[in-house]
Amino acid sequence: MHLQRTVLFAGMAASLFLAAGWATAAEGPATAQAPQPKAQTAKPAGDTVQSQLEASNWVPDGKADAPRVIYTFTDPNCKYCHKFWEAARPWVDAGKVQLRHILVGVIRDDSPAKAAAILQAPDRAAALMEHEKKSAQGGIAPAFSVSPDVRKTLEAHRKLMMSLGFRGTPGIVVIDSQGGTKSYGGMPRDAALPEVFGAL
């Protein structure tokens, strides 16, 4: 099954460049006035996409046996990533969806260190929850140092995000209970949330 990529807004404002060894990307705009989504076919094939996502160093949010899995490329400084996390709460709390956060550090200078604070934590899921709950205060404190392994992980995540056609965060890939795959660039509009998360 091919990856179905749903474009939720045109002309995502995201310029990527390398600085001090880190790739930086502008956050995508809010999608409140976005055009109607259009489904498009994209490569690679869905099963390949799923295996690549599964092999990433994702952080779980929700029950492991949830019928719908959603991978989301998340920068700790991305306010739209936090809005997506908030929007998902009813489905996650009901056991309908598990979010799998693939952390990247692309928006601000301290994004890699904040991502590292989560990835290097003894309980990564708890660290992610702490970060999201403290979003209004800037989220989790950046790690004092970023280990070489975490730097490699973040770079691998950035490359995977780019290879799937995302130029900003959140980049969202939905795996439904039948194994179907769709992706969404940016924060979906409220009207699209039932399509993204499924029945509640």
Tens-binned pLDDT, residue by residue, of the chain (200 aa): 333 333 332 233 333 323 333 333 333 433 322 333 333 334 444 578 899 999 999 999 999 999 999 999 999 999 999 999 999 999 999 999 999 999 999 999 999 999 999 999 999 999 999 999 999 999 999 999 999 999 999 999 999 999 999 999 999 999 877 777 899 999 999 999 999 999 88
Residue 125 carries which side chain, given as an amino acid letter?
A
Distances in Å between the Cα of 151 and the Cα atoms of 21, 27, 111, 155, 194 are 10, 21, 11, 6, 35
- Helices 124-133 and 79-93: crossing angle in degrees, nearest 10, is 110
CATH fold group of domain 47-195:
Glutaredoxin (3.40.30)
